[in-house]
Amino acid sequence: MRWTGILGLAVMLAVAAVHPANARSVPGLSVGGGDSAALLHLPPDDDQPAPIVIMLSDGPMPDFRDDRYIEHLIWSGIAVLEPQAERPDIPALIAAASWVIGVDANRIALLARGAGSRIETGPIRAAVLLYPGCGTALPRPRASEILLVHGSADAANQRAECSAVAEAWRVAGLRVQHEVLEGVGYAWDNRPMGPDFRVSFQQPGGTERITAVPLPDATEVVAQQAARFLARALGVTP
């Protein structure tokens, strides 16, 4: 890892020491500014140029739900960009990251949750869409390969609706892998805060709010699956 990655680690550890309640398990290096502000997470083996995944949340800022996905991606040899603006400027983000780590324009992918699946990214190699809101008009990612994952108990991503989306994208020439988690609802990757604590999220593309039930085991399974899918799509060798 170059000195930039070491500096980012030192900064994040210092912040965690001051604000332990806000500490995250994945250190990152701040890059860019304004609509191009992001945290850049570097893999242990900092090869050049690096494949990179843009992580788009369903809120205005990154949160703890990103962590397990990022951990699996960086240990697979993939850098991760977490935008820190609600409507990020994706080309500017890539440019900001390129000042720190060489970026291969042909090896850029997306991992998006909820409403993050609706943010325009420009052309990318592959996309992982988690509970994107199949029940409302869902934009087609500009990717050749897509992994679509949702729960069978998710009112915003009903099986028939997501199956119809996946089939329409296949007809359009995309390679789509559609996975349904049986018995799982919306935003399964929300962090448990107590046995009776529940968080609600706004439905992607809608106005209703959906209560999320945290399922750490499902989160781990999907994080591993997403990392394997993106590593293959981006040509990362084990």
> Residues 115-173: pLDDT tens digits?
999 988 889 999 999 999 998 889 999 999 999 999 999 999 999 999 999 999 999 99
Domain that holds residue 189: 3-233
**206 located within any domain:** yes
What is the torsion angle, in degrees rounded to the nearest 10, for the CA atoms of residue 26, residue 93, residue 145 and residue 46? -50
Tokens encoding 179: 């996975």
- What residues are paired with 39 via a beta bridge? 30, 82
Tokens encoding 238: 């084990």
State pLDDT tens for residues 6-43: 333 333 333 333 333 334 456 678 888 887 788 899 88
- Phi first, then psi: give them for residue 144, nearest 5 degrees: -90, -25
Tokens encoding 26: 């994945």
pTM: 0.85
Up-side HSE of residue 21: CA atoms within 13 Å toward CB? 1
The span from the CA of 130 to the CA of 5, in Å, is 28
Question: SS3 of 199, please?
Answer: strand
What is the number of structural domains in the chain? 1
225 Cβ contact list (under 8 Å, min separation 6) = 147, 149, 179
Could you tell me the CATH number of the domain that includes residue 140?
A: 3.40.50.1820
Q: Using an 8 Å Cβ cutoff, are 181 and 149 in contact?
A: yes
**238 located within any domain:** no
**41 located within any domain:** yes
Tokens encoding 157: 């991503």
Residue 100 or residue 218, greater confidence: 218
